[in-house]
Amino acid sequence: MNHDQPTEPITIRTAKQIISEIDALAAAMDRSRNYVVNQALRQYLETNAWQIERIKAGGGGVYRHCGEAWLEALMRLVFAEPAARP
């Protein structure tokens, strides 16, 4: 985490199993829970920003013809919980 940037606290709810996995990873890395969660969030944001840019650029033909509605529908499908996927 870049300590030069201002931070803001957030609160989330998640499964106890996920917290256990975060804590185990933090202990193995000798890092804080906060560090692990921030690294995971950063990686998630970077990966998904990259994917969205590739969809817009690489799927240009489809994107140009279907526009924003197509991308929004695709993103809902991609990021849906596994149980909610068709």
Confidence (pTM): 0.57
Q: What is the pLDDT of residues 44-64, one digit of tens each?
A: 888 878 777 777 777 555 555
How far, in Å, CA of 81 to CA of 4, rounded? 34
Confidence (pLDDT) at 24: 96
Structural domain boundaries of the chain? 16-84
